[in-house]
Chain A
Amino acid sequence: MLCDECKSRTACMHIIKIVNNQKTEKNLCAECAKAAGEISLSFDTQSYVHDFLKGIFNHGLFVDPQMLRGQESCSECGMTYTDFNRKGKVGCSACYTVFGGQFEPLLKRIHGSSSHTGKIPKRNGGTLKIRQQIKKIRQQLEQYVINEEYEKAVLLRDEIKNLEKEIGLSGKGE
Protein backbone atom coordinates (compact mmCIF):
# COMPACT_ATOMS: atom_id res chain seq x y z
CA MET A 1 0.00 0.00 0.00
CA LEU A 2 1.32 3.44 -0.90
CA CYS A 3 1.54 6.35 1.48
CA ASP A 4 -1.52 8.68 1.38
CA GLU A 5 0.71 11.77 1.51
CA CYS A 6 3.59 11.27 -0.91
CA LYS A 7 1.94 8.47 -2.88
CA SER A 8 5.36 7.07 -3.74
CA ARG A 9 6.76 5.27 -0.71
CA THR A 10 5.19 2.25 0.90
CA ALA A 11 3.00 3.07 3.88
CA CYS A 12 4.25 1.44 7.03
CA MET A 13 1.74 2.71 9.56
CA HIS A 14 -1.96 3.12 9.92
CA ILE A 15 -2.97 6.13 11.97
CA ILE A 16 -6.45 6.55 13.41
CA LYS A 17 -7.26 9.92 14.95
CA ILE A 18 -10.42 10.72 16.82
CA VAL A 19 -10.91 14.46 17.32
CA ASN A 20 -14.29 15.71 18.55
CA ASN A 21 -15.80 12.34 17.70
CA GLN A 22 -14.58 12.73 14.12
CA LYS A 23 -12.63 9.70 13.10
CA THR A 24 -9.95 10.07 10.41
CA GLU A 25 -7.74 7.29 9.11
CA LYS A 26 -4.49 7.59 7.22
CA ASN A 27 -1.81 5.28 5.87
CA LEU A 28 1.59 6.92 5.97
CA CYS A 29 5.19 6.09 5.28
CA ALA A 30 7.76 6.75 8.00
CA GLU A 31 9.02 9.97 6.45
CA CYS A 32 5.63 11.58 5.89
CA ALA A 33 4.51 10.57 9.35
CA LYS A 34 7.60 12.17 10.79
CA ALA A 35 7.14 15.31 8.69
CA ALA A 36 3.51 15.58 9.79
CA GLY A 37 4.66 15.24 13.37
CA GLU A 38 2.50 12.14 13.76
CA ILE A 39 5.17 9.92 15.13
CA SER A 40 8.92 9.79 15.26
CA LEU A 41 10.56 6.53 14.41
CA SER A 42 14.13 7.58 14.64
CA PHE A 43 15.31 8.32 18.11
CA ASP A 44 18.62 8.45 19.79
CA THR A 45 19.07 4.99 21.24
CA GLN A 46 21.76 6.18 23.58
CA SER A 47 19.45 8.55 25.41
CA TYR A 48 16.73 5.97 25.13
CA VAL A 49 18.90 3.52 27.06
CA HIS A 50 19.54 6.11 29.72
CA ASP A 51 15.91 7.09 30.02
CA PHE A 52 15.16 3.45 30.28
CA LEU A 53 17.75 2.91 33.00
CA LYS A 54 16.26 5.81 34.86
CA GLY A 55 12.73 4.52 34.37
CA ILE A 56 13.60 1.01 35.40
CA PHE A 57 14.78 2.44 38.64
CA ASN A 58 12.03 4.80 39.53
CA HIS A 59 9.27 2.37 38.78
CA GLY A 60 10.53 -0.52 40.85
CA LEU A 61 8.05 -1.79 43.39
CA PHE A 62 10.46 -2.12 46.26
CA VAL A 63 12.45 1.06 46.13
CA ASP A 64 13.95 2.17 49.37
CA PRO A 65 12.69 5.76 49.93
CA GLN A 66 16.09 6.73 51.25
CA MET A 67 17.52 5.79 47.89
CA LEU A 68 15.29 8.21 46.08
CA ARG A 69 16.19 11.13 48.27
CA GLY A 70 19.61 10.85 46.63
CA GLN A 71 21.35 13.36 48.86
CA GLU A 72 24.44 11.32 49.62
CA SER A 73 27.26 12.31 47.28
CA CYS A 74 30.44 10.62 46.13
CA SER A 75 33.48 12.02 47.92
CA GLU A 76 35.61 11.68 44.79
CA CYS A 77 33.51 13.28 42.08
CA GLY A 78 30.55 14.74 43.94
CA MET A 79 27.90 12.78 42.05
CA THR A 80 24.63 12.29 43.92
CA TYR A 81 22.17 9.56 43.27
CA THR A 82 19.83 12.11 41.75
CA ASP A 83 22.54 13.01 39.23
CA PHE A 84 22.83 9.40 38.22
CA ASN A 85 19.08 9.12 37.91
CA ARG A 86 19.02 12.08 35.61
CA LYS A 87 21.89 11.11 33.33
CA GLY A 88 22.06 7.34 33.61
CA LYS A 89 25.84 7.58 33.74
CA VAL A 90 28.16 6.94 36.66
CA GLY A 91 30.57 9.69 37.77
CA CYS A 92 33.75 7.85 38.68
CA SER A 93 35.06 4.47 39.80
CA ALA A 94 34.54 5.37 43.47
CA CYS A 95 30.79 5.85 42.84
CA TYR A 96 30.45 2.11 42.39
CA THR A 97 31.61 1.67 45.98
CA VAL A 98 29.77 4.67 47.44
CA PHE A 99 26.44 3.76 45.84
CA GLY A 100 27.17 0.04 45.76
CA GLY A 101 24.02 -1.00 47.57
CA GLN A 102 21.84 1.34 45.57
CA PHE A 103 23.25 0.19 42.24
CA GLU A 104 22.78 -3.45 43.07
CA PRO A 105 19.15 -3.88 42.00
CA LEU A 106 19.83 -1.96 38.80
CA LEU A 107 22.89 -4.04 37.94
CA LYS A 108 20.91 -7.16 38.66
CA ARG A 109 18.30 -6.04 36.17
CA ILE A 110 20.87 -5.32 33.48
CA HIS A 111 23.32 -8.16 33.93
CA GLY A 112 21.55 -10.70 36.14
CA SER A 113 23.26 -11.64 39.38
CA SER A 114 26.61 -12.22 37.78
CA SER A 115 30.07 -11.21 38.75
CA HIS A 116 33.11 -10.59 36.59
CA THR A 117 34.78 -13.66 35.12
CA GLY A 118 36.73 -12.05 32.30
CA LYS A 119 40.13 -10.45 32.00
CA ILE A 120 41.87 -9.18 35.13
CA PRO A 121 44.43 -6.38 34.96
CA LYS A 122 47.83 -7.46 36.29
CA ARG A 123 48.44 -4.18 38.03
CA ASN A 124 45.40 -3.85 40.29
CA GLY A 125 43.56 -7.10 39.88
CA GLY A 126 44.89 -8.14 43.33
CA THR A 127 44.74 -11.83 44.10
CA LEU A 128 41.56 -12.30 42.08
CA LYS A 129 43.33 -14.00 39.21
CA ILE A 130 44.80 -16.66 41.49
CA ARG A 131 41.51 -17.13 43.32
CA GLN A 132 39.71 -17.66 40.02
CA GLN A 133 42.41 -20.09 39.00
CA ILE A 134 41.94 -22.05 42.23
CA LYS A 135 38.20 -22.19 41.63
CA LYS A 136 38.74 -23.58 38.15
CA ILE A 137 41.26 -26.19 39.31
CA ARG A 138 38.95 -27.23 42.13
CA GLN A 139 36.16 -27.91 39.64
CA GLN A 140 38.50 -30.04 37.60
CA LEU A 141 39.69 -31.82 40.70
CA GLU A 142 36.12 -32.78 41.59
CA GLN A 143 35.73 -34.17 38.10
CA TYR A 144 38.86 -36.29 38.53
CA VAL A 145 37.59 -37.60 41.85
CA ILE A 146 34.28 -38.55 40.26
CA ASN A 147 36.15 -40.36 37.50
CA GLU A 148 38.36 -41.97 40.15
CA GLU A 149 41.49 -40.55 38.53
CA TYR A 150 43.15 -40.04 41.89
CA GLU A 151 46.70 -39.59 40.64
CA LYS A 152 45.70 -36.60 38.60
CA ALA A 153 43.58 -35.29 41.46
CA VAL A 154 46.54 -35.38 43.85
CA LEU A 155 48.58 -33.25 41.46
CA LEU A 156 45.82 -30.66 41.31
CA ARG A 157 45.45 -30.68 45.10
CA ASP A 158 49.14 -29.80 45.41
CA GLU A 159 48.74 -27.10 42.82
CA ILE A 160 45.88 -25.57 44.79
CA LYS A 161 47.97 -25.70 47.99
CA ASN A 162 50.78 -23.84 46.27
CA LEU A 163 48.47 -21.20 44.90
CA GLU A 164 46.81 -20.70 48.27
CA LYS A 165 50.22 -20.28 49.83
CA GLU A 166 51.03 -17.69 47.23
CA ILE A 167 47.96 -15.64 48.09
CA GLY A 168 48.64 -16.02 51.78
CA LEU A 169 52.14 -14.70 51.31
CA SER A 170 51.17 -11.84 49.07
CA GLY A 171 48.36 -11.05 51.55
CA LYS A 172 50.92 -10.63 54.36
CA GLY A 173 53.10 -8.49 52.13
CA GLU A 174 50.38 -5.96 51.41
Chain B
Amino acid sequence: MSMENLLDQPFVHWMSSGAQDGDIVLASRIRLARNLEGIPFPQRANGEQLSQVVSQLKSSLCDLNSNEQSDYMFVDLEKLPLLERLVLVEKHIISPDHAREASNRAILVKQDTTVSIMVNEEDHLRIQCLMPGLNLVKAFTSANQVDDIIENKHALAFNEELGYLTSCPTNLGTGLRASVMVHLPALVLTGQINRIVNAVIQLGLTVRGLYGEGTEAVGNIFQISNQLTLGFTEQEIIDNLYSVVKQVVDHERTARGGLYADTTDMLVDRVWRAYGTLKYARSISGQEALALLSDVRMGYELGIINEGSHCNFNELMVITRPNFLQKMSDCPELSGNERKKLRAQIIREKLTNKD
Protein backbone atom coordinates (compact mmCIF):
# COMPACT_ATOMS: atom_id res chain seq x y z
CA MET B 1 0.00 0.00 0.00
CA SER B 2 1.28 3.43 -0.84
CA MET B 3 1.34 6.37 1.50
CA GLU B 4 -1.53 7.93 -0.47
CA ASN B 5 -3.67 4.88 0.12
CA LEU B 6 -2.80 4.85 3.78
CA LEU B 7 -4.10 8.39 4.05
CA ASP B 8 -6.93 8.47 1.54
CA GLN B 9 -8.61 5.13 1.97
CA PRO B 10 -10.81 5.07 5.01
CA PHE B 11 -10.59 1.33 5.35
CA VAL B 12 -7.82 -0.21 7.41
CA HIS B 13 -7.51 -3.83 8.49
CA TRP B 14 -8.87 -3.43 12.04
CA MET B 15 -12.25 -2.42 10.62
CA SER B 16 -12.81 -5.83 8.99
CA SER B 17 -16.06 -7.50 9.91
CA GLY B 18 -16.66 -11.08 10.96
CA ALA B 19 -13.96 -11.24 13.66
CA GLN B 20 -14.46 -12.91 17.05
CA ASP B 21 -17.07 -11.02 19.12
CA GLY B 22 -17.08 -8.42 16.35
CA ASP B 23 -20.66 -7.43 17.21
CA ILE B 24 -19.32 -5.73 20.34
CA VAL B 25 -15.53 -5.65 20.14
CA LEU B 26 -14.32 -3.34 17.38
CA ALA B 27 -10.62 -4.00 17.68
CA SER B 28 -7.81 -5.31 19.88
CA ARG B 29 -4.53 -3.52 20.26
CA ILE B 30 -1.15 -4.51 21.68
CA ARG B 31 1.53 -1.93 22.34
CA LEU B 32 5.09 -2.62 23.42
CA ALA B 33 7.27 0.23 24.70
CA ARG B 34 10.98 -0.19 24.01
CA ASN B 35 14.09 1.99 24.12
CA LEU B 36 17.52 1.65 22.60
CA GLU B 37 20.31 1.29 25.10
CA GLY B 38 22.74 4.17 25.48
CA ILE B 39 20.58 6.93 24.01
CA PRO B 40 18.49 9.21 26.26
CA PHE B 41 14.72 8.75 26.00
CA PRO B 42 13.06 11.03 23.41
CA GLN B 43 11.98 13.67 25.93
CA ARG B 44 15.60 14.28 26.94
CA ALA B 45 17.44 13.45 23.73
CA ASN B 46 18.75 16.19 21.45
CA GLY B 47 17.98 16.43 17.73
CA GLU B 48 21.08 14.55 16.75
CA GLN B 49 20.33 11.66 19.10
CA LEU B 50 16.72 11.51 17.94
CA SER B 51 17.73 11.37 14.30
CA GLN B 52 20.24 8.65 15.23
CA VAL B 53 17.34 6.60 16.60
CA VAL B 54 15.35 7.18 13.42
CA SER B 55 18.19 6.11 11.14
CA GLN B 56 18.98 3.05 13.29
CA LEU B 57 15.42 1.89 13.07
CA LYS B 58 15.17 2.71 9.43
CA SER B 59 17.97 0.20 8.97
CA SER B 60 15.70 -2.46 10.51
CA LEU B 61 13.27 -2.03 7.66
CA CYS B 62 14.92 -4.68 5.49
CA ASP B 63 15.10 -7.13 8.44
CA LEU B 64 11.40 -6.69 9.03
CA ASN B 65 10.67 -7.17 5.37
CA SER B 66 12.82 -10.24 4.92
CA ASN B 67 11.86 -11.94 8.19
CA GLU B 68 8.17 -11.41 7.96
CA GLN B 69 8.10 -11.50 4.19
CA SER B 70 5.94 -8.48 4.21
CA ASP B 71 6.10 -4.96 3.10
CA TYR B 72 6.88 -2.34 5.70
CA MET B 73 6.88 1.27 4.75
CA PHE B 74 8.99 3.98 6.35
CA VAL B 75 7.17 7.27 6.88
CA ASP B 76 8.98 10.40 7.98
CA LEU B 77 6.39 12.34 9.99
CA GLU B 78 8.32 15.55 9.46
CA LYS B 79 7.38 15.35 5.80
CA LEU B 80 3.67 14.94 6.48
CA PRO B 81 1.53 18.01 7.08
CA LEU B 82 -0.29 18.16 10.41
CA LEU B 83 -3.62 17.29 8.80
CA GLU B 84 -2.29 14.01 7.40
CA ARG B 85 -0.76 13.13 10.73
CA LEU B 86 -4.13 13.71 12.38
CA VAL B 87 -5.79 11.42 9.84
CA LEU B 88 -3.40 8.69 10.96
CA VAL B 89 -4.55 9.32 14.53
CA GLU B 90 -8.20 8.97 13.54
CA LYS B 91 -7.36 5.66 11.91
CA HIS B 92 -5.57 4.57 15.11
CA ILE B 93 -2.26 4.12 13.26
CA ILE B 94 -0.44 6.62 15.50
CA SER B 95 -1.19 8.27 18.85
CA PRO B 96 -2.29 11.89 19.29
CA ASP B 97 1.05 12.63 20.98
CA HIS B 98 2.97 11.32 18.02
CA ALA B 99 1.05 13.55 15.63
CA ARG B 100 1.59 16.71 17.65
CA GLU B 101 5.37 16.80 17.51
CA ALA B 102 6.83 15.77 14.13
CA SER B 103 10.49 16.66 14.05
CA ASN B 104 12.64 13.53 14.10
CA ARG B 105 9.53 11.39 14.46
CA ALA B 106 8.75 8.52 12.13
CA ILE B 107 6.66 5.40 11.72
CA LEU B 108 7.32 2.02 10.20
CA VAL B 109 4.01 0.65 9.07
CA LYS B 110 3.13 -2.76 7.70
CA GLN B 111 1.39 -2.92 4.36
CA ASP B 112 -1.85 -4.32 5.75
CA THR B 113 -1.74 -1.68 8.56
CA THR B 114 -1.90 -4.33 11.29
CA VAL B 115 1.48 -3.31 12.68
CA SER B 116 2.88 0.17 13.10
CA ILE B 117 6.04 1.14 14.91
CA MET B 118 6.12 4.68 16.21
CA VAL B 119 9.66 6.01 16.43
CA ASN B 120 10.49 8.62 19.07
CA GLU B 121 7.10 8.95 20.62
CA GLU B 122 7.32 8.90 24.43
CA ASP B 123 9.77 6.00 24.03
CA HIS B 124 12.18 5.32 21.16
CA LEU B 125 9.91 2.56 19.98
CA ARG B 126 6.25 1.91 20.34
CA ILE B 127 5.41 -1.30 18.54
CA GLN B 128 1.69 -1.55 18.07
CA CYS B 129 -0.47 -4.17 16.52
CA LEU B 130 -4.13 -3.65 15.77
CA MET B 131 -6.50 -6.52 14.93
CA PRO B 132 -10.24 -6.60 14.29
CA GLY B 133 -12.52 -8.04 16.99
CA LEU B 134 -11.33 -9.74 20.18
CA ASN B 135 -7.97 -10.95 18.97
CA LEU B 136 -5.40 -10.15 21.65
CA VAL B 137 -3.29 -13.27 21.29
CA LYS B 138 -2.78 -12.85 17.57
CA ALA B 139 -2.03 -9.17 18.01
CA PHE B 140 0.51 -9.98 20.72
CA THR B 141 2.17 -12.66 18.62
CA SER B 142 2.66 -10.19 15.76
CA ALA B 143 3.99 -7.42 18.01
CA ASN B 144 6.28 -9.87 19.76
CA GLN B 145 7.74 -11.08 16.47
CA VAL B 146 8.52 -7.52 15.48
CA ASP B 147 10.13 -6.98 18.88
CA ASP B 148 12.32 -10.07 18.35
CA ILE B 149 13.44 -8.85 14.95
CA ILE B 150 14.35 -5.43 16.29
CA GLU B 151 16.07 -6.84 19.32
CA ASN B 152 18.18 -9.01 17.06
CA LYS B 153 19.86 -5.95 15.71
CA HIS B 154 19.67 -3.37 18.51
CA ALA B 155 20.44 -3.59 22.21
CA LEU B 156 17.34 -2.59 24.17
CA ALA B 157 17.30 -0.82 27.53
CA PHE B 158 16.59 -3.57 30.04
CA ASN B 159 17.11 -4.14 33.74
CA GLU B 160 16.71 -7.47 35.51
CA GLU B 161 14.51 -6.10 38.28
CA LEU B 162 12.55 -3.51 36.35
CA GLY B 163 12.34 -5.23 32.97
CA TYR B 164 12.19 -3.04 29.88
CA LEU B 165 13.07 0.52 30.85
CA THR B 166 10.67 3.20 29.71
CA SER B 167 10.37 6.94 29.81
CA CYS B 168 7.33 6.86 32.06
CA PRO B 169 7.66 4.65 35.16
CA THR B 170 4.09 3.44 34.64
CA ASN B 171 5.20 1.39 31.60
CA LEU B 172 8.16 -0.39 33.22
CA GLY B 173 8.48 -4.17 33.09
CA THR B 174 6.79 -5.69 30.10
CA GLY B 175 6.16 -2.30 28.47
CA LEU B 176 2.93 -3.94 27.39
CA ARG B 177 -0.34 -2.11 27.05
CA ALA B 178 -3.10 -4.36 25.78
CA SER B 179 -6.37 -2.70 24.96
CA VAL B 180 -9.69 -3.55 23.48
CA MET B 181 -12.17 -1.16 21.83
CA VAL B 182 -15.72 -2.09 22.76
CA HIS B 183 -19.10 -0.76 21.68
CA LEU B 184 -21.45 -0.75 24.67
CA PRO B 185 -24.67 1.06 23.72
CA ALA B 186 -27.02 -1.18 25.67
CA LEU B 187 -25.04 -0.90 28.90
CA VAL B 188 -25.14 2.89 28.49
CA LEU B 189 -28.86 2.93 27.63
CA THR B 190 -29.79 0.74 30.59
CA GLY B 191 -27.65 2.82 32.93
CA GLN B 192 -25.41 -0.07 33.90
CA ILE B 193 -22.24 1.36 32.41
CA ASN B 194 -20.95 3.06 35.57
CA ARG B 195 -21.31 -0.12 37.57
CA ILE B 196 -19.44 -2.08 34.88
CA VAL B 197 -16.70 0.52 34.54
CA ASN B 198 -16.18 0.54 38.31
CA ALA B 199 -15.97 -3.25 38.40
CA VAL B 200 -13.47 -3.26 35.54
CA ILE B 201 -11.31 -0.67 37.31
CA GLN B 202 -11.31 -2.76 40.47
CA LEU B 203 -9.83 -5.61 38.47
CA GLY B 204 -6.75 -3.56 37.67
CA LEU B 205 -7.85 -2.27 34.27
CA THR B 206 -8.58 1.21 32.96
CA VAL B 207 -11.44 2.42 30.83
CA ARG B 208 -11.08 5.34 28.43
CA GLY B 209 -12.70 7.03 25.44
CA LEU B 210 -12.33 6.25 21.76
CA TYR B 211 -8.99 7.88 21.08
CA GLY B 212 -7.14 6.84 24.21
CA GLU B 213 -5.95 9.00 27.03
CA GLY B 214 -7.90 12.13 27.80
CA THR B 215 -10.66 11.57 25.27
CA GLU B 216 -14.38 11.15 25.74
CA ALA B 217 -16.39 8.02 25.10
CA VAL B 218 -18.17 9.17 21.96
CA GLY B 219 -20.54 6.82 20.18
CA ASN B 220 -20.62 4.53 23.23
CA ILE B 221 -17.17 3.25 22.36
CA PHE B 222 -14.84 2.50 25.23
CA GLN B 223 -11.26 1.32 25.47
CA ILE B 224 -10.42 -1.16 28.17
CA SER B 225 -6.74 -1.75 28.91
CA ASN B 226 -4.35 -3.09 31.53
CA GLN B 227 -2.96 -0.66 34.06
CA LEU B 228 -0.01 -2.52 35.53
CA THR B 229 2.94 -3.57 33.43
CA LEU B 230 5.43 -4.80 36.03
CA GLY B 231 5.31 -8.04 37.99
CA PHE B 232 3.13 -9.92 35.53
CA THR B 233 4.04 -11.92 32.46
CA GLU B 234 2.69 -10.81 29.10
CA GLN B 235 0.50 -13.90 29.13
CA GLU B 236 -1.02 -13.00 32.51
CA ILE B 237 -1.75 -9.43 31.45
CA ILE B 238 -3.47 -10.58 28.27
CA ASP B 239 -5.40 -13.38 30.00
CA ASN B 240 -6.70 -10.99 32.62
CA LEU B 241 -7.85 -8.44 30.05
CA TYR B 242 -9.35 -11.16 27.88
CA SER B 243 -11.43 -12.66 30.65
CA VAL B 244 -12.70 -9.28 31.84
CA VAL B 245 -13.59 -8.17 28.31
CA LYS B 246 -15.37 -11.48 27.75
CA GLN B 247 -17.55 -10.71 30.76
CA VAL B 248 -18.22 -7.16 29.61
CA VAL B 249 -19.23 -8.56 26.22
CA ASP B 250 -21.62 -11.01 27.91
CA HIS B 251 -23.17 -8.20 29.96
CA GLU B 252 -23.63 -6.07 26.85
CA ARG B 253 -25.25 -8.97 25.00
CA THR B 254 -27.59 -9.65 27.90
CA ALA B 255 -28.45 -5.95 28.12
CA ARG B 256 -29.13 -5.81 24.37
CA GLY B 257 -31.34 -8.89 24.58
CA GLY B 258 -33.23 -7.51 27.59
CA LEU B 259 -33.65 -4.12 26.00
CA TYR B 260 -35.00 -5.68 22.84
CA ALA B 261 -37.39 -7.96 24.71
CA ASP B 262 -38.69 -5.32 27.15
CA THR B 263 -38.85 -2.28 24.93
CA THR B 264 -39.05 -3.68 21.40
CA ASP B 265 -41.13 -0.82 20.00
CA MET B 266 -38.98 1.87 21.54
CA LEU B 267 -35.75 0.26 20.37
CA VAL B 268 -36.95 -0.47 16.84
CA ASP B 269 -38.18 3.10 16.53
CA ARG B 270 -34.90 4.47 17.87
CA VAL B 271 -32.80 2.45 15.45
CA TRP B 272 -34.91 3.34 12.40
CA ARG B 273 -35.03 6.99 13.38
CA ALA B 274 -31.24 7.01 13.66
CA TYR B 275 -31.00 5.34 10.27
CA GLY B 276 -33.49 7.79 8.77
CA THR B 277 -31.57 10.79 10.06
CA LEU B 278 -28.26 9.43 8.80
CA LYS B 279 -29.74 8.62 5.42
CA TYR B 280 -31.50 11.92 4.82
CA ALA B 281 -29.75 14.56 6.91
CA ARG B 282 -28.14 17.43 4.99
CA SER B 283 -25.91 18.61 7.82
CA ILE B 284 -24.69 16.62 10.79
CA SER B 285 -22.17 17.13 13.59
CA GLY B 286 -19.51 14.56 14.44
CA GLN B 287 -21.02 13.89 17.85
CA GLU B 288 -24.50 13.35 16.42
CA ALA B 289 -23.19 11.14 13.62
CA LEU B 290 -21.33 8.91 16.07
CA ALA B 291 -24.31 8.68 18.40
CA LEU B 292 -26.63 7.70 15.52
CA LEU B 293 -24.11 5.30 14.00
CA SER B 294 -23.91 3.69 17.41
CA ASP B 295 -27.69 3.10 17.43
CA VAL B 296 -27.70 1.76 13.86
CA ARG B 297 -24.75 -0.52 14.52
CA MET B 298 -26.58 -2.03 17.49
CA GLY B 299 -29.80 -2.32 15.47
CA TYR B 300 -27.92 -4.10 12.74
CA GLU B 301 -26.35 -6.56 15.20
CA LEU B 302 -29.78 -7.22 16.76
CA GLY B 303 -31.32 -7.88 13.34
CA ILE B 304 -33.70 -4.92 13.67
CA ILE B 305 -32.41 -3.41 10.50
CA ASN B 306 -30.60 -4.78 7.50
CA GLU B 307 -30.84 -1.89 5.15
CA GLY B 308 -27.39 -0.46 4.70
CA SER B 309 -25.87 -3.70 5.92
CA HIS B 310 -23.27 -3.48 3.15
CA CYS B 311 -21.79 -0.57 5.08
CA ASN B 312 -18.98 -1.07 7.46
CA PHE B 313 -19.93 0.95 10.52
CA ASN B 314 -16.39 0.94 11.85
CA GLU B 315 -15.31 2.55 8.61
CA LEU B 316 -18.13 5.10 8.75
CA MET B 317 -17.05 6.10 12.23
CA VAL B 318 -13.60 7.00 10.92
CA ILE B 319 -14.82 8.65 7.71
CA THR B 320 -16.92 11.08 9.67
CA ARG B 321 -14.09 12.31 11.92
CA PRO B 322 -13.14 15.97 11.28
CA ASN B 323 -9.59 15.50 9.99
CA PHE B 324 -10.47 12.71 7.63
CA LEU B 325 -13.29 14.82 6.17
CA GLN B 326 -10.88 17.69 5.69
CA LYS B 327 -8.49 15.34 3.89
CA MET B 328 -11.24 14.14 1.56
CA SER B 329 -12.40 17.61 0.70
CA ASP B 330 -10.92 19.79 -2.04
CA CYS B 331 -11.51 22.90 -0.01
CA PRO B 332 -8.32 24.03 1.79
CA GLU B 333 -10.06 24.77 5.04
CA LEU B 334 -13.58 23.62 5.76
CA SER B 335 -15.71 25.73 8.04
CA GLY B 336 -17.73 24.00 10.73
CA ASN B 337 -20.89 24.15 8.64
CA GLU B 338 -19.20 22.97 5.47
CA ARG B 339 -17.79 20.05 7.39
CA LYS B 340 -21.24 19.13 8.70
CA LYS B 341 -22.61 19.24 5.17
CA LEU B 342 -19.82 17.11 3.78
CA ARG B 343 -20.22 14.61 6.59
CA ALA B 344 -23.95 14.27 5.93
CA GLN B 345 -23.29 13.89 2.21
CA ILE B 346 -20.70 11.13 2.65
CA ILE B 347 -22.88 9.15 5.06
CA ARG B 348 -25.82 9.50 2.69
CA GLU B 349 -23.78 8.24 -0.23
CA LYS B 350 -22.40 5.31 1.73
CA LEU B 351 -25.86 4.28 2.92
CA THR B 352 -27.67 4.66 -0.42
CA ASN B 353 -25.04 3.25 -2.74
CA LYS B 354 -25.32 -0.44 -3.55
CA ASP B 355 -28.63 -0.62 -1.69
Interface residues of A (CB under 8 A from B): 42-46, 48-50, 53, 76-79, 87-93, 96-97, 103, 106-107, 110-112, 114-126, 128
A118 touches B35 (CB 8 A): no
Q: A89-B44, A112-B231 are in contact. List 18 more A-B contacts (CB 8 A).
A: A46-B97, A46-B214, A53-B169, A90-B166, A92-B157, A107-B172, A115-B160, A115-B161, A115-B230, A116-B174, A117-B231, A117-B232, A118-B234, A121-B155, A121-B156, A123-B155, A124-B155, A124-B156
Q: Complex formed: what's the CA distance from A146 to B151 in Å?
A: 41
- Nearest B residue to A91 via CB reads B44
A126 to B122 CA separation, bound complex (whole angstroms): 26
Number of residues on chain B facing chain A (CB within 8 A): 46
CB B223 to nearest CB in A, in angstroms, measures 12
CA distance in complex: A116, B175 (Å): 10
With A89-B122, A112-B231, A116-B174 in contact, is A76–B40 under 8 Å at CB?
A: yes
Q: How far is the CB of A55 from chain B (nearest CB, A)?
A: 14
Give the chain A neighbours of B216 by CB distance below 8 A: 42
Answer whether A93 and B157 are a contact pair too, CB < 8 Å, given A42-B216, A106-B169, A114-B231. yes
Say whether A46 contacts B160, CB under 8 Å. no
Partner of B173, one of A103, A111, A121: A111
The yes or no answer to B168 lying at the interface (CB within 8 A) is yes
| Shortest Cβ distance from B216 into A: residue | A42
**Complex Cα–Cα for A112 and B230 (A):** 9
A-B contact pairs, 23 of them (CB 8 A): A46-B97, A48-B214, A49-B170, A50-B168, A76-B40, A79-B44, A89-B168, A90-B165, A90-B168, A92-B44, A96-B159, A107-B162, A107-B230, A112-B231, A114-B173, A115-B160, A116-B159, A116-B172, A116-B230, A118-B234, A121-B151, A125-B160, A126-B160
Q: Judging by beta carbons under 8 Å apart, are A103 and B232 in contact? A: no
* Cα separation A103 to B161 with both chains bound (whole Å): 13
Q: Is the CB of A118 within 8 A of B122?
A: no
Number of A-B contacts (CB under 8 A): 134
Once A96-B165, A115-B161 are accepted as A-B contacts, the answer to whether A87 and B174 lie under 8 Å apart by CB is no
Whole-angstrom distance between the Cβ of A112 and the nearest chain B Cβ: 6
Smallest CB separation, A99 vs chain B (Å) = 11
Q: Check if A122 sits within 8 Å of B151, measured CB to CB.
A: yes
Within 208-245 of B, Cβ neighbours of A (below 8 Å) are at: 208, 213-214, 216, 228-234
Instruction: Check: B65 CB closer than 8 A to any chain A CB.
Output: no
Q: Which residues of B line the A interface, CB within 8 A? A: 35, 37-41, 43-45, 97, 122, 144, 147, 151-152, 155-170, 172-174, 176, 208, 213-214, 216, 228-234
Shortest CB–CB separation between residue B118 and chain A, in angstroms? 15
The 9 closest A-B pairs by CB, nearest first: A114-B231, A116-B163, A93-B157, A118-B174, A77-B40, A92-B40, A91-B44, A45-B214, A111-B230
Q: Are A89 and B228 interface neighbours, CB within 8 A? A: no
Q: Are A90 and B169 in contact (CB under 8 A)?
A: yes
Measured CB to CB, the nearest residue on chain B to A41 is B216
Cα–Cα distance between A97 and B168 once the two chains are bound (Å): 15
Distance in Å: Cβ of A47 to nearest Cβ of chain B = 8
Nearest residue, chain A, Cβ from B229? A111
What is the chain B residue whose CB lies nearest that of A53? B169
Q: How far is the CA of A79 from the CA of B168 in the complex (A)?
A: 14
Contact yes or no, B159 A93, CB < 8 A = yes
Give the residue of A49, A50, A115 whose beta carbon is less than 8 angstroms from that of B162.
A115
Distance of B203 from chain A, by nearest CB (Å): 15
